[in-house]
Amino acid sequence: MSFDTLLVANRGEIARRVFRTARDMGLRTVAVFVDADADAPYVTEADVAIRLTTGYLDGAAIIDAARRAGAGAIHPGYGFLSENPTFAADVAAAGIVFVGPSPHALQQMGDKISAKDLARRAGVPVLPSSEDPADADSVGYPLIVKAAAGGGGKGMRVVSSPSELTESVAAARREAQSGFGDDRVFLERYVAASRHIEIQVLGDTHGSLIHLGERECSIQRRHQKLVEESPSPVVSDTLRSAMGSAALELARAMEYHSVGTVEFLVDDATKEFFFLEVNTRLQVEHPVTEEVTGVDLVREQIRVAQGLRLDLTQDDVSFRGHAIEVRLCAEDPAAGFLPATGTLVAYEPALTPTVRWESGVRAGSEVTVSFDPMLAKVIAHAPTRGEAAATLALALERLHLGGVNTNRDFLAATLRHPAFVAGDTTTAFIDRHEPSRSLVLDEDERAWLDGAVALWWQGRHRADAVVLADLPTGWRNARLPDQNMSLTRSDETVTIKYRSLRDGTFIVNGDTRATIHEWTADSIDVTIGDRRAHRRITIDGDRTYIQCDRGTADYRIEPRFVVPGVEEAAGGLHAPMPGVVMDVRVRPGDEVAKGTTLIVLEAMKMEHHITAPSDGVVTEVFVSVGQQVENGANLLGFDDGSEGER
């Protein structure tokens, strides 16, 4: 099973991650891409890239691309076709090596219902479940509806009472069909105070099988992981041994080879564990296992695919320090973690502290609704958990970022939260502890940033001046007057006054002395009062992105003169993101209560419910089922009974 060229049937940071190890192993790399990804970094990093006219789910086109490029093996990455047994079988039938488990294993574990049955037969504990919604009472409330054929949070709904069941099952079926082409769902007992613990397994085609310890992935939103770490802060040696043994028993029952993950739910109170599912692929969170064990999992995948034996045994596996990973996503935590789109006008990781950045984007990348919102995974490894968390938080805060809403500030706040530091990281973490979802600035830093932005812009005006460019800003042959600039950040508008002095310094807001030490087109080094800092700056139209202690502050420059024009029509609810209208549940004249679902949008294979912000009346409906809408599109008119419409 020798091969010298590897095609990666995936995109973004996934492809880049696999390419890195493949190159280190002396393999040529092949990328596939659709038009939307033509300028993505991974496309140019491959030795050759093949354009797909259909999409990443077209297995036949990918196999044809491998033939054309002379690839002897296909690595599916994670997501897309990575757990598709038909694709794996087709790859093998084409005489190409599939870097992953057997089609039989994919078939067994790709269906969560059959996976649970196999786990029961292997003696692994499972939660009560049923494929029949009529069995909800016997399963017990609260329960969770899950897609039988997929994961990643798609097709999942928590149901607290019988009144929610019908709607939740219907919504889960729609998401499952959209995401996996299979609308089957099942019900499972929901454990609210729990931890999501998974065991990494690794096997070869000669019968050797080991596990590489656990990862905790409990901090989630919309049932999708955000923070992952290894080892778990609550898993004892005894519990690790028990879960590791259970994972290996299940893997042996399926005659598993390649890398895979057996996922468990651990009751936080009793420390009982229950089987959830098997992911028959590389996981997004695999780097934390690599960091604490020193094992390159992509390398092991490729070696197994080449027919080689594992070169380590269970006794060889040891753990060093602590690793934490976060998923940097294009989304708005303050708006319920809704996906966000736009252009990354700024994206520049800091050189220090040293962490592992695995990113599929760069400055200038377009973020669309076509793909998963994850921009990068960022991993820190340190001797202790506390040091890993602090290092990762600082790396996130020092990332210069702008143009698209992200969860960066939320992630940094989570890593610094006392509950996280203490290891209180159950699946209820976000609801219980509510880390800040946006950048928090103290009064002194906010005042300094206001002044720095205003002074950077005066430098820009001087640099752009074509007449009398060497004179100070606002120069007169008498006393220099104050200049004014209005800035808005987080919906708060302030007016900054600054005056140039004859010695080249400035007075800001009446009495604060300021000195610009260096001005460039993308930075400023300035002392305002007794605080001096050098800050990275990116300009995009009327937006100014300036780096600060805890992240990147976003300012909008308010125009000095407002040009008369057509104002936005009053009233109405707007689309929070681009998407497709899946359901319209109201008509003009309908009276609705606060929280009622009015319209259902689909974006990034997830459903998002547009709800009534208060009791009121629907006055107009502007969209229909199947319609594609852009971010901010007016969906319907809404009258809450106050003066005018909302």
Look at residue 468 and tell me whether its pLDDT is greater than 70: no
Are residues 184 and 198 located together in one domain of the fold? no
* Low-confidence winner among 11-15, 506-510, 625-629 (lowest mean pLDDT): 625-629
pLDDT of 331 higher than 90: yes
Residue at 599 is within a domain: yes
Q: How far is CA 343 from CA 63, 329, 423, 544, 566, in A?
A: 32, 13, 36, 14, 27
Our CA dihedral for 360, 361, 366, 370, rounded to 10 degrees, sits at 10
Tracing tokens 């057996």 back to the chain, one arrives at 262
**Preceding omega of 353 cis (within 30 degrees of 0):** yes
Q: What is the pLDDT of residues 219-232, one digit of tens each?
A: 998 888 999 999 99
- pLDDT for residue 465 is more than 80: no
Segment 86-107 mean pLDDT: 96
- State the burial class of residue 467 (Cβ atoms within 10 Å of its Cβ: 0-12, 13-18, 19+): exposed
Which distant-in-sequence residues (6+ apart) come within 8 Å of 188 by Cβ? 127, 128, 129, 139, 143, 144, 146
Rounded Cα distance between 338 and 222, Å, is: 10
Nearest to 102 by CA among 377, 295, 304: 304
Q: Please state, in angstroms and rounded to a whole number, the distance separating the CA atoms of residues 552 and 146.
A: 38
Q: Which candidate, 395, 396, 358, 389, places its Cα nearest to that of 376? A: 358
Confidence band of 638 (pLDDT split at 50, 70, 90)? confident
Q: Residue 373 and residue 362: Cα distance in Å, rounded?
A: 14
Query: For 611-625, what is the mean pLDDT?
Result: 86
Does position 300 have pLDDT exceeding 90, yes or no?
Answer: yes
451 found inside a domain:
yes
How many CA atoms lie within 13 Å of 143's alpha carbon, on the beta-carbon side?
A: 30
How far from 358 is each of 13, 62, 325, 361, 591, CA to CA, in Å?
6, 24, 10, 9, 49
Does residue 184 sit in the same domain as residue 214?
no
* CATH code of the domain in which 617 resides: 2.40.50.100
Specify if 438 maps to a domain: no
> Tell me, what amino acid is at 510?
G
Residues counted in the chain? 646
Determine the average pLDDT of the residues in 349-374: 94
Spatial contact of 97 and 1, defined as CB atoms under 8 Å apart: yes
10 Å CB burial of residue 625 (0-12, 13-18, 19+) is exposed
pLDDT at position 310, please?
96
Tell me how many domains the chain contains.
Answer: 5
Of the residues 433, 457, 488, which one is the last residue of a structural domain? 433
- Residue 567 pLDDT more than 70? no
Does the predicted model carry a pTM greater than 0.75?
yes
- Cα–Cα distance, 367 to 378 (Å, whole number): 18
Assess whether 465 and 380 both reside in one domain.
no
What domain range is 500 assigned to?
443-557
Which H/E stretch holds residue 543? strand 543-548
Residue 240's pLDDT band (cuts 50, 70, 90): very high
Strand partners, 356: 379
**pLDDT > 90: what percent of the chain?**
66
pLDDT at 456 over 70: yes
What's the confidence (pLDDT) of residue 476? 55
Contacts of 323 (CB under 8 A, 6+ apart): 229, 230, 287, 288, 289, 291, 292, 379, 380, 381, 382, 388
Least confident of 231-245, 266-280, 303-317: 266-280
* 604 and 495 belong to one structural domain: no
Q: For residues 183 and 198, state if they share a domain.
A: no
Q: How confident is the model at residue 244 (pLDDT cuts 50, 70, 90)?
A: very high
Cβ neighbour number for residue 370 with a 10 Å cutoff? 15
pLDDT averaged over every residue in the chain? 90
The pLDDT tens digits of the residues spanning 63-73 come to 999 999 999 99
Q: Are residues 198 and 185 in the same domain?
A: no
Per the domain annotation, does 563 fall within a domain?
Answer: no
- Calculate the alpha carbon distances from 75 to 68, 78, 544 in Å: 16, 9, 41
Burial of 356 (0-12, 13-18, 19+ CB in 10 A): middle
Instruction: Answer whether residue 121 is part of any domain.
Output: no
**Same structural domain, 422 and 461:** no
More confident residue, 468 or 581: 581
Q: Determine the pLDDT at residue 645.
A: 42
User: Contact at 8 Å (CB) between 18 and 78?
Assistant: no
The answer to whether residue 378 scores a pLDDT higher than 70 is yes
Residue finishing a domain among 402, 433, 464: 433
Answer yes or no: do 182 and 228 share one domain. Answer: no
Same domain, 280 and 372: yes
Q: Do 512 and 460 fall within a single domain? A: yes
pLDDT at 609: 79
Provide the CATH number for the domain around residue 141: 3.30.1490.20
Neighbours of 340 (CB within 10 A): 24
Residues 387 and 258 grouped into a single domain: yes
- Kindly state the DSSP code that residue 478 receives in the 8-state scheme: S
Confidence of residue 149 (pLDDT cuts 50, 70, 90): confident
Q: And the tokens for 330? A: 């294009």
pLDDT in tens, 510-541: 899 999 999 999 999 999 999 999 999 999 99
Q: What is the pLDDT of residues 23-82, one digit of tens each?
A: 999 999 999 999 999 999 999 999 999 999 999 999 999 999 999 999 999 999 998 899
User: Rounded mean pLDDT of 617-645?
Assistant: 80
At 290, list the tokens. Answer: 């690599």
Q: pLDDT category, 566, cuts 50, 70, 90?
A: very low
CATH number at residue 220: 3.30.470.20
Res. 336 pLDDT band, cuts 50 70 90: confident
Give domain status of residue 467, yes or no: yes
Q: Cα–Cα distance between 399 and 449 in angstroms, integer?
A: 17
Question: 228 with 271, same domain?
Answer: yes
Question: Residue 174's pLDDT is what?
Answer: 86
Residue 549 reports pLDDT greater than 70: yes
Find how far residue 47's CA is from the centre of its chain.
28
Inside any domain, residue 565: no
